[in-house]
């Protein structure tokens, strides 16, 4: 039971076969379109490399945001602990 997908007029829709035929005709580098699955270690190393190569402004932006979240969370935690100590 397959449904035919209708293509809007403002788009160019290709089947999978037509796409790969187009890629082969124009000798496009297919490594941009086909990626091998990444292993756990490789994904971890990629994540660490991405973090290390962030520019200073991004690191500062993330650091300030995380500091605000941590302060907010710890304040709530401290309030609950203070309330608990008052009712003991």
- Pseudo-torsion of CA 72, 76, 82, 87, nearest 10°? 170
Residue 3 banded pLDDT, cuts 50, 70, 90: low
The model carries a pTM of: 0.42
Residue 16 banded pLDDT, cuts 50, 70, 90: confident
Residue with tokens 């991405």: 50
Is a pLDDT exceeding 60 seen at residue 2? no
Is a pLDDT exceeding 50 seen at residue 1? no
Residue with tokens 């290390």: 52
């Amino acid at each position: 039971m397959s449904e035919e997908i209708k293509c809007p007029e403002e788009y160019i829709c290709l089947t999978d076969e037509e796409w790969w035929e187009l890629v082969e005709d124009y000798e496009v580098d297919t490594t941009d379109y086909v990626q091998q699955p990444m292993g756990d270690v490789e994904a971890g190393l990629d994540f660490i490399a991405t973090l290390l190569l962030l520019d200073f402004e991004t690191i500062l932006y993330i650091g300030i945001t995380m500091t605000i979240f941590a302060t907010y969370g710890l304040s709530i935690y401290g309030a609950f602990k203070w309330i608990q100590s008052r009712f003991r």
